[in-house]
């Protein structure tokens, strides 16, 4: 039995924008409101001072765990490594069966079939990176073939990278068309559709204005999720960038578009970081995004810190590395 289908967004009028050329896209994207760096970072820092205690903390830790895309994306990955990761995904804390499961496992596309098999019947999604992850430097044909492999291999989520070179040189139409083409390739021969996350690689985009523009471009092109980073370069996800992307998805929907999810990935190592992100989701985008269908954490070491914090809340004692498992 395959993973349950993700809820399809209700058909809604897309924002009214002329998507026919670089020039018209540039007019639209460059006409979006500017972002003041100091102000944005101050807002994110302010939200980061929220103090989450006791019952709120317990709820938030469980919610964060249920939003984790447990990830391994190494050249040295093997079927054994992926199977171990999937076992952890299904039972994060062997000592505590009340611990929620993660949302998904995220692997390279050629190992998707291994994950699909290991997770069969669990309800946990299989996300595969594709499109010449992480650099995105390959021909369209190669990227689409990579996507089809992932989907045929059983992945029900695809995390693609945008072509940053095209974006930074102003070839917005190329970026848009590539996302659309990948989205089309996300429908398998048997009719299954994988949801598409579009990685912006915000660290390479460098300015917040670019992050806002890339977010809108991805949403206009049909992204189901916008994702901050590949996790392979620094800086990866930061609280200000995530705040900005949540503003973008909020405004996109308010402007008549559909709901789009957000996934920060890379750089979120501690439970404290994760809780700050949940505060930002709640106060910037709102309740509709407090849901694993609309917000995910791309992480590997984060899960263990969430478990350690969970253990402390449950027992009142600080825990240690011997009490969480290696994946």
Partner 1 sequence: MPKFQYAPAPESRAVVDLKPSYGLFVDGGFVDPQSGTSIKSTSPATEEVLAEVAEAGAEDVDRAVRAARRAYDRTWSRLSGAERGKYLFRIARLIQERSRELAVLESLDNGKPIKESRDVDVPQAAAWFFYYAGWADKLEHAGLGPNPRPLGVAGQVIPWNFPLLMLAWKIAPALACGNTVVLKPAETTPLSALLFAEICQQADLPPGVVNIVTGAGATGQALVEHPDVDKVAFTGSTAVGKQIARSVAGTRKRVTLELGGKGANIVYDDAPVDQAVEGIVNGIFFNQGHVCCAGSRLLVQENVAEDVVDRLKRRLATLRVGDPLDKNTDVGAINSAAQLARITELAQAGEDEGATRWSPACELPSTGYWFAPTVFTGVSNTHRIAREEVFGPVLSVLTFRTPDEAVAKANNTPYGLSAGVWSDKGSRILWTADRLRAGVVWANTFNRFDPTSPFGGYKESGFGREGGRHGLEAYCAH
Which residues lie near partner 1 (CB under 8 A)?
33-36, 38-40, 42-43, 49-57, 59-60, 63, 247, 278-279, 281-283, 286-287, 290
Question: Choosing from 69, 93, 159, 209, which is the catalytic residue?
Answer: 159
Minimum CB separation of residue 7 from partner 1 in Å reads: 17
Pick 40 or 186: Cβ nearer partner 1:
40
159 belongs to the catalytic site: yes
Q: Is residue 18 among the annotated active site residues?
A: no
| CA 188 to chain CA mean position, Å | 21
Catalytic residue among 263, 276, 293, 305: 263
E runs forming strands in 213-263: 225-227, 261-263
CB 195 within 8 A of CB 187: no
- Of the listed 227, 251, 276, 293, which one is catalytic? 227
**Residue 209 beta carbon to partner 1: minimum distance, rounded to whole angstroms:** 9
Q: How far apart are CA 127 and CA 151, in angstroms?
A: 9
Q: Residues 173-192, buried b or exposed e (16+ Cβ, 10 A)? A: bbbbebbbbbbebbebeeeb
CB nearer partner 1, residue 36 or residue 110: 36
Specify the 3-state DSSP secondary structure of 40: helix
Shorter beta-carbon distance to partner 1: residue 15 or 145:
15
Strand order in the sheet with 225-227: 261-263, 225-227, 195-199, 157-161, 125-130, 104-108, 68-71, 297-299
Q: How far is the CB of 185 from partner 1 (least distance, A)?
A: 35
Active site (annotated) includes residue 227: yes
Closest CB to partner 1 among 28 and 108?
28
Closest separation in Å from C-beta 190 to partner 1:
36
Nearest to 188, CA basis, from 228, 128, 230? 128
| Catalytic positions, written as ranges | 159, 227, 263
């Amino acid at each position: 039995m395959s993973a349950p289908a993700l809820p399809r967004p209700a058909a809604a009028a897309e924002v009214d924008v002329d998507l026919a050329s670089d020039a018209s896209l540039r007019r639209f994207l460059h006409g979006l409101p500017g972002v003041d760096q100091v102000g944005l970072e101050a807002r994110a820092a302010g939200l980061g001072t929220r103090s989450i205690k006791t019952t709120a903390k317990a709820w938030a830790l469980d919610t964060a765990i249920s939003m984790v895309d447990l990830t391994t994306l190494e050249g040295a990955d093997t079927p054994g490594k992926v199977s171990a990761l999937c076992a952890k995904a299904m039972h994060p804390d062997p000592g505590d069966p009340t611990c929620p499961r993660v949302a998904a496992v995220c692997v390279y596309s050629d190992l998707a079939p291994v994950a699909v098999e290991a997770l069969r019947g669990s309800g946990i999604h299989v996300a595969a990176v594709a499109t010449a992850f992480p650099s995105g430097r390959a021909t369209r044909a190669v990227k689409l073939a990579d996507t089809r492999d992932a989907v045929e291999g059983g992945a029900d989520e695809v995390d693609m990278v945008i072509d940053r070179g095209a974006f930074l040189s102003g070839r917005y139409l190329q970026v848009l068309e590539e996302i659309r083409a990948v989205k089309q390739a996300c429908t398998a021969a048997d009719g299954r559709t994988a949801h598409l996350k579009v990685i912006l690689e915000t660290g390479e985009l460098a300015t917040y204005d670019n992050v806002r523009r890339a977010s809108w471009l991805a949403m206009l092109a049909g992204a189901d999720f916008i994702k901050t980073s590949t996790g392979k370069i620094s800086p990866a996800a930061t609280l200000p960038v995530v705040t900005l992307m949540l503003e973008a998805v909020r405004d996109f929907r308010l402007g008549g578009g559909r709901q789009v999810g957000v996934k920060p990935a890379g750089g979120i190592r501690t439970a404290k970081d994760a809780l700050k992100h949940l505060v930002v989701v709640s106060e910037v985008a709102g309740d509709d995004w407090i849901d694993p269908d609309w917000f995910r954490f791309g992480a590997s070491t984060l899960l263990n810190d969430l478990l350690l914090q969970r253990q402390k809340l449950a027992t009142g004692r600080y825990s240690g590395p011997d009490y969480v498992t290696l994946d």
